[in-house]
Each structure stands twice: as C-alpha cells, then as structure tokens.
C-alpha cells in the first residue's frame, strides 16, 4: 500500500466490504467539520440520544445516557488475537484470530440495517507529527462520531495523511442491540485491526482511545522501536523560565488527572512556577536524534471520570468543562446543569438513569460517569501539545496507592532499576466487608488492561532503550497515600505535589544530592521544600523512611509476580530484582551488627 492510489483503493475496498456485511441504510464519510458536528448533535437531540443542558451555565453542552448494562470497560470480553497465545501473554485474554473474526463477522452480519454507517478517518497526535499514527473507525453510532471529533484530529486532514502514508488502523464498531451476552472487543495487533460489538460506552466504542492508542499502538511501538504508554504528560516551568516535561503512570484512583492539571500552590505561584498540561492519559514516546525520549499526547481531548472532580480537587478540570462538553451518565440539577458526587455545588434532581433522584437508588451520577471535552479548553493547556516533534521527557514517574511501606518519593538507580520499579507498581485495596485490608493489586506501568502483547516481552522492550548514546529520562516512584498509625494521610497531596516534582527536577539538573538507600535515592534531609507546609519534620522523615524488613518481603513478592509471566521474563529484570534483594539483605545484616 505504498502509492496514494493503492492506499485509498484499500480503504475504499474495506469500507465496501464492511457495508456489504453490515447492510446499512446509508454510508457517510465524516469530514470533521463544524457543520457536520452541528448536524449530528441536532439529530441526536431530536432522537433523544443527547439531552440539552442549561444553555446559560453550560453552553453547547449535552448529556448522554448509556444503557444501564453498558457503563464501563469490559475486560473479560476484551481479547488480544495473536497467532500464538504466548504472544498475547497471561496479561491478556486470547482468542485465535480466525475464530475471533468468525465470531465477530457473524455478529456484524446485517447489524447496521436501517442505520447510518459512518466512516471516520482520524489521526492520533498532531497531524504533521512523525510520532502520530492514523486510523479509520467505521461505526453506526453518531455519539461515537461526536466524541471522536473531540478526542482525535478527525476528518479531511487525517484522510489526506492516510493517502500519503498508505497505512492505518482499521476499527469496526457497532452498538448492536447492547446485549451484554453479545458484546466483544477484539484486537488483531498483527493486522492493525479492531472489532468491537455490542457496546456504546467510551473505550469500548471510541476505538481511537484505549483500543488503538494503547493495545494496538503498544504492539506497533514494540515493532517500530517506540513506546505507547498509559501516562499523563505535564510540563513544569521554573522561575527561570526553564521547562521540564514529566510523563507519569498511575493506576485508577491515584490522582492522574489532578497531577496532569496541577495548580501550583500560592507560594510556588508567587515564586514564578507554572504547570502546563500536555496530556492526561496517553503518551507516545520515541527516541530523538539527540538520544532523548520525545513524547506526544496522541489525543486531542479528555475523556475523564466526573465523580470526585470538584473545585477543591481539580479546579482546572472544572474550568475546562464550562462549555462545549459532552457528559455521559452524570446526574442533572433541577435547572439542567450536570451534577456528580464530589462536585461540591448544586443538588441532583434527576439521576444518571433519568429517574427522579432518590438516595435509596444509589449514587446520583454513575461512579464511572464521564466528560468529553477538547484539551484546548483547559486553562493550563500547553501549546507544545501541537508540536510535531513532541516534547522532551526529563523524568518518568510511576506511582500507586500504598498506605504503608512505599516512601513519598524515590528515584531508581538506573534505567533497568526503573523498569523493575514500574513493573512492580500497584495499589492496595480496602475491603471492609470481608476484613481484607491492604490487598495489593499489581498493575505494571498502569498497563495491565492495555498492553497489547505479553508483559514479559513488554518489559524486555522497555529494557531495550538502554543503549549507548541514549539520554534516557530519570525514573521515579511516588506515593501520595502513606498513612500514619491513626489512618490519616501524612502528605497533603494535590497542589503540594509540586514540591515533589521540584525535587525531581533538581535531581535531573544535578542540584539535589539525595540519600542512597537499597531501594533507590530518597530526598536527603532538608532537600524537600516544606516551607509554609503544616507538616512536622518527623512526619517528613517517616514519609521518606525505608523499612528494610518490609522491603525484603516486598522484593520476594515482586519475584513471585514476575515469575508468573513464565519463561519469557527477561533475565536482566530478574537479575535487577536480585540486586535490590541483596542490597536489602546486606543493609539488614549491617543493622544487626550495629545492634550487636
């Protein structure tokens, strides 16, 4: 598919094949224009697929309600279809490609009768960026078209790039009958193809999102020598006007969006610090000619979780949502404003299912209710988000929700150690009903549900970037969630997290010495800026303390976890775990000698 003619011919042939299979009433090629969007919205308002919100408070904003059985990702119905099951790995559900195609094609047969089939050419990333990649989604959902217009660079420019390049990810989607028994999301990494049936929800239906940007792209990135990661990208500008870009991966409920849109506290703001949001969810990184990793946010919008987003937690997100937004499964107030738990203002009148709000029915907004909005509306949006070259990454941050053991921040000794830190990350759960508190769920690089191939091969791919001439980012781990003996959070979090990023930048610039420990480098006493913070020096010491005995157990558990991925696990990662284990054991021995 090299020449222009053949690439468009291939696209046209595929569209014709899909139309023959699905039998739509009509086929519409989307151009991404304002007029097209206005027509789609008008049609959805007329059909009831969208409800208008208060035009004074939320101009050009709408509410969509999913079917109650279709409100979240469905990991157990999500498959990676590689010729060999080993290539998908124990981290994915697998189905043989031929079986998956047969199953999906039977579902798609006649599925679009009486419906419009939309053809959506889109680009993930700035339209001229060499790091960006294109796709075409075919769908029968106008809601998907409207959301893809916000989330991607969609329409004529993307089609022109597909003509030039001759390659694209093929995504086929139909809402079907929204029957949970007939719902599957299939990925064919070797074919750069996705088939999704039976869901109209977010990531199951907006195929540019997790399906393309992570599951397919991670496989593509491995073959082509780059990284497709579930990471935010934030720019930190110091008082000298120097900018450092940080990529960070956190499992859900660990403050990812809050960090991406971090607002400096008054002291930092007055000193001249600024924070710029490049991306809130996905980061594609590739080695540049200078040896550094350069990153783009492949998305053009935010598909964010609404509950918990409020004036105290994320004022930037709230400001972003004031106009031109689509809300999914939130509640509404009596005067037609969107509402969710944690908003901190107003009262719900109608819940997410359209019923008069009653506390007995559960939360007013679905816990996974969402907003879709253009990234450009964010007050801290970084103009560099449109740079074709991307932004250079100074630091990669991993994190999780760990009430004990893991310090507030530590730096990996080198790249291989950093890969181990990322592979081992996870969050502890609380399950008061059964009394099982502190069950640790590991979510390597926050990619467990999204890596499109075997995790062991994925770790090996990460390790492969460490080669002569590479100027790789420093790797850190953070934990905002340490608790004291009374169960209270020890660190204030939110805007104060800039203090931790400040220390990281000092490490990158060679200005902070740090203190060497067996698990990595922590801030030396006095290096973490706590000026104006109501926190006792002893608490800071506790936040940074390394519990040798606890970490010996942790490294044993990490070893068991890594062994679970079988014979493909890279020896270098196992050796790195061994190195840290030995360092901890040596530290324990030294302590015993001192006591004796």
Q: What residues are annotated to the active site?
A: 254
On whether 467 is known to bind a ligand per the annotation, the reply is no
Is 30 annotated in some ligand binding site? no
- Residue 70 contacts residue 201 (beta carbons within 8 Å): yes
Share in percent of the chain as helix, strand, coil (round to 5): 35, 25, 40
203 is in an annotated binding site: yes
Is 369 annotated in some ligand binding site? yes
Q: What phi, psi does 73 have (nearest 5°)?
A: -60, 150
Q: Tell whether 272 is in a known binding site.
A: no
The answer for residues whose C-beta is within 8 angstroms of residue 471's C-beta and 6 or more apart is 290, 291, 292
Q: Is 549 part of any known ligand binding site?
A: no
- Determine if residue 253 is labeled as part of a ligand binding site: yes
54 is in an annotated binding site: no
The answer to whether 254 is annotated as binding is yes
Question: Is 62 among the annotated ligand-binding positions?
Answer: no
Number of helices (H) and strands (E), helices first, in the chain?
Answer: 17, 29
Distance CA 9, CA 229 (A): 32
Q: Is 135 exposed, middle or buried (0-12, 13-18, 19+ CB in 10 A)?
A: buried
3-class DSSP state of 178? coil
Q: How many CA atoms lie within 13 A of 166 on its CB side?
A: 8
H or E element that contains 21: helix 4-22
Q: Is 92 assigned to a binding site?
A: no
- 3-class DSSP string for 55-100: CCCCCCCEEECCCCCCCCCCHHHEEECCCCHHHHCCCCEECCHHHH
Residue 558 and residue 459 in contact, taking contact as beta carbons nearer than 8 Å? no
149 assigned to a ligand binding site: no
Give the C-alpha distances (Å, rounded to integers) separating 163 from 2, 6, 158: 9, 9, 9
370 is in an annotated binding site: yes
Per the annotation, does 401 bind a ligand? yes
Token pair for residue 554?
């942790």
What residues form the annotated binding site for substrate? 73, 201-203, 252, 368-370
What residues form the annotated binding site for Mn(2+)? 210, 230, 281
What residues form the annotated binding site? 73, 201-203, 210, 230, 252-258, 281, 368-370, 401, 494-497
What residues form the annotated binding site for GTP? 253-258, 370, 401, 494-497
């Amino acid at each position: 598919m090299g020449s222009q003619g053949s690439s468009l011919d291939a696209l046209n042939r595929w569209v014709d094949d899909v139309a023959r299979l699905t039998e739509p009433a009509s086929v519409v090629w989307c151009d991404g224009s304002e007029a097209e969007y206005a027509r789609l919205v008008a049609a959805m308002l007329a059909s009831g697929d969208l409800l208008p919100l208060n035009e004074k408070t939320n101009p050009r904003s709408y509410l969509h309600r999913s079917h109650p059985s279709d409100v979240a990702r469905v990991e157990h119905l999500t498959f990676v279809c590689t010729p060999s099951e080993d290539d998908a790995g124990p981290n994915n559900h697998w189905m043989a490609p031929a079986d998956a195609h047969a199953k999906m094609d039977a579902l798609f047969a006649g599925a679009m009768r009486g419906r419009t089939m939309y053809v959506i050419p889109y680009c993930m990333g700035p339209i001229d960026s060499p790091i960006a990649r294109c796709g075409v989604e075919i769908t029968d959902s106008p809601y998907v078209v409207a959301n893809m217009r916000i989330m991607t660079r969609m329409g004529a420019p993307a089609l022109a790039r597909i003509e030039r390049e001759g390659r694209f990810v093929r995504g086929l989607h139909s809402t079907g009958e929204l029957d949970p028994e007939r719902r599957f999301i299939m990925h064919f990494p070797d074919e750069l193809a996705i088939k999704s049936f039976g869901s109209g929800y977010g990531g199951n239906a907006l195929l540019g999102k997790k399906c393309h940007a992570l599951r397919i792209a991670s496989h593509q990135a491995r073959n082509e020598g780059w990284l497709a990661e579930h990471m935010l990208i934030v720019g930190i500008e110091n008082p000298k006007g120097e900018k450092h870009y940080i990529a960070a991966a956190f499992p859900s409920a660990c403050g990812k969006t809050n960090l991406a849109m971090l607002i400096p506290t008054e002291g930092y703001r007055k000193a001249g610090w600024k924070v710029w949001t490049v991306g809130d969810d996905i980061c594609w990184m590739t080695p540049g000619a200078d040896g550094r990793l350069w990153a783009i946010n492949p998305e053009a919008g935010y598909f964010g979780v609404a509950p918990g987003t409020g004036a105290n937690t994320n004022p930037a997100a709230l400001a972003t949502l004031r106009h031109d937004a689509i809300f999914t499964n939130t509640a509404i107030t009596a005067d037609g404003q969107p509402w969710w738990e944690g908003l901190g203002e107003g009262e719900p009148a109608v819940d997410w299912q359209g019923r008069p709000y009653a506390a007995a029915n559960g939360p007013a907004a679905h816990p996974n209710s969402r907003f879709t909005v253009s990234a450009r509306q964010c007050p801290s949006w970084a103009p560099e988000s449109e740079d074709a070259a991307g932004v250079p990454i100074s630091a990669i941050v991993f994190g999780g929700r760990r009430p004990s053991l893991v310090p507030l921040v530590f730096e990996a000794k080198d790249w291989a150690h950093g890969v181990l830190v990322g592979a081992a990350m996870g969050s502890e759960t609380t399950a008061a009903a059964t009394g099982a508190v502190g069950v640790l769920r590991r979510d390597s690089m926050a990619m467990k549900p999204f890596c499109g191939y075997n995790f062991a091969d994925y770790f090996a791919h990460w390790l492969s970037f460490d080669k002569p001439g590479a100027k790789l980012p420093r790797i850190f781990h953070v934990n905002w969630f340490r608790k004291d003996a009374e169960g209270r959070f020890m660190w204030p979090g939110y805007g104060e997290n800039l203090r931790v990023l400040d220390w990281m930048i000092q490490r990158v610039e060679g200005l902070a010495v740090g203190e060497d420990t067996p698990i990595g480098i922590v801030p030396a006493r006095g290096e973490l800026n706590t000026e104006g913070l109501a926190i006792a020096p002893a608490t800071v010491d506790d936040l940074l303390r390394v519990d040798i005995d606890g970490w010996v157990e942790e490294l044993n558990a990490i070893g068991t976890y890594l062994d679970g991925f079988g014979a493909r696990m890279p020896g270098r990662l196992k050796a790195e775990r061994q190195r840290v284990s030995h360092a901890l054991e040596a530290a324990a021995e030294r302590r015993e000698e001192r006591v004796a």
